[in-house]
Amino acid sequence: MPAIILKNGREKSLLRRHPWIFSEAIKHIDGQPKPGDTVDVLAANGTFLGRGAYSPDSQIVVRIWSFDSSTQISSQFFGEKLARAVKLRERLAIKSTACRLVNAESDGLPGLIVDRYNDFVVCQFLARGTEFWKKEIVSVLKELTSAKGIYERSDVDVRVKEGLPQVTGALEGIEPPDLIEIQEGENRFLVDVKRGHKTGFYLDQRDNRKCVSEYAKGGEVLNCFAYTGGFGVYAAKGGAGHVTNIDSSSDVLALAAKNNELNGIGPDKIENVDGDVFQLLRKHRDSRKQFDVIVLDPPKFVNSRHQLEQASRGYKDINLLAFKLLKPGGFLFTFSCSGLMPVELFQKIVADSALDAGREARMVRRLGQAEDHPAALNFPEGSYLKGLVCEVS
C-alpha cells in the first residue's frame, strides 16, 4: 500500500486522532497513489499512524478513515460505519421526518454528508475518498434506509478544492419531487432538495427554532437571513405579534410564503421582505424602529483562515446594528455557522458589539447544532454552529 511519510514532529495531531493531514506536514510519498486511493500514514520513524484517502489537489492531502492498522478499507468498512451512524439517529428519537444520518468526520466518514427527508436521502460527496467509494456508499444507504430515491447534491465549492467537478442528480431509485413536505414537531415545511441551500433545509437549527418560539410570545420579531422562513414559522406559532422575514432571494421568500400558508399563518402575521440585511438593518436604525426579538443567522462568512478578520467585521456590523434595534428587555439570537470561527472570538465580537451600541447585555443561553449533527471529540471543527441568546437592557 502507498504510504505518506510525515516530517519529524508532525505526528502530534494524528496521535490525538485528528483526521486531517495537511500538505505542509508531508516529508515524502512512497509509491504512486491515485486520487481517492487508500494510503497509510507513517511517522518519520516509520510508526503507523492511520489509514486514509489520498487527495493530491487539496491542502488536506489525507483524510483518515481509521487509526487501526488492522482495519481494511472496503465495502464492509463503509457498511459498518454507515450502520452505526444510522442507528445513532434511531436512538435519538428525533421529532422530525427529516434528519442528518451521516455527519462527515464526526461519524468517522470524512467528506460525506447524508440527510434524510421523508422517503428520500440526499448526499454530498465532498472529498476524494468519498467520491472514490461512492458506489459502495450508495449501495449501503439503499439497504439501510429503504429510501425511494437517493439524490446527490455535490454542488459545493469544496469539491473544486478537491479537484472534483460540482455534480447533482439521482444516484438510486426515483428522483425526488421539486418540493418535499417534512414535519418538524408541530410545524410543516416544504423543502427544495434539488436547488435549496445545503441539502435543502437547515436541519442543524431544529432545536434553535424551537428555542425562538419560547421567547417570541407577544413580541415583534425580526428574522434576518430568513431563507425559507423556519425561524419565522416557529416565532409565529409561538405567539409572536408580528414577524418580519428578510432575505436577499425572492425565490426562497416565495417558498417561505408557502411554508407560512402550510402552517396556517396569514400575511398579516408574517411579512416577507426581499432585500439586503445590512442595508435594511441600517434603515430600521435610522427610522428608530425597534423589535422584541431579532434572529441573526447569516451564511458562512469564513471559508479560510485568512478570511477570519474580514468575517469578524461582518459579524460585528450586524450584531452592532441588532443591539441598537432591540427594545429594553428584548432578545438577540445570534449565530455563526463558520467552523473556523472560534467560539471565544465569536462571543467577544458579540460583547464588543453590545458595548459599542451602548447596550447592557447578558448571555442567557448558548446554542449549537441539533443532536443529529454530533461533533467527534477528536475533531473540534465539528462543533461549527455557535449561537448566543442575549437579553438587552
Q: Which residues are catalytic?
A: 337
Handedness of CA 343, 349, 352, 357 (dihedral sign): negative
Which of 283, 195, 192, 196 lies closest to 244, judged by CA? 283
Contact, 208 vs 335, CB < 8 A? yes
Instruction: Tell me how far apart the alpha carbons of residues 307 and 304 are, in angstroms, rounded to a whole number.
Output: 6
Which residue type sits at 42? L
Please count the helices (runs of H) and the strands (runs of E) in the chain.
11, 20
Beta bridge partners of 73: none
Cβ atoms < 10 Å from Cβ of 5: 17
Distance (Å) of CA 7 to CA 11, 56, 59, 200, 250: 8, 17, 16, 42, 51
Alpha carbon separation from 37 to 53, 322, 352, 390 (Å, rounded): 6, 49, 47, 48
Handedness of CA 216, 279, 347, 354 (dihedral sign): negative
Nearest CA to 285 among 314, 318, 249?
Answer: 318
For the chain, what is the radius of gyration of the CA atoms?
A: 22
Residue 335 Cα to chain centre, angstroms = 12
State whether residue 316 is helix, strand or coil. Answer: helix
> How many residues in total does the chain contain?
393
Answer for the pair 6, 41: CB distance below 8 angstroms, yes or no: yes
Distance CA 36, CA 104 (A): 16
**120 torsion bin: left (phi>0), alpha (psi -120 to 50), beta (else):** beta
- What are 284's strand-pairing partners? none
The three grid cell numbers given for residue 37, joined into one nine-digit string: 486511493
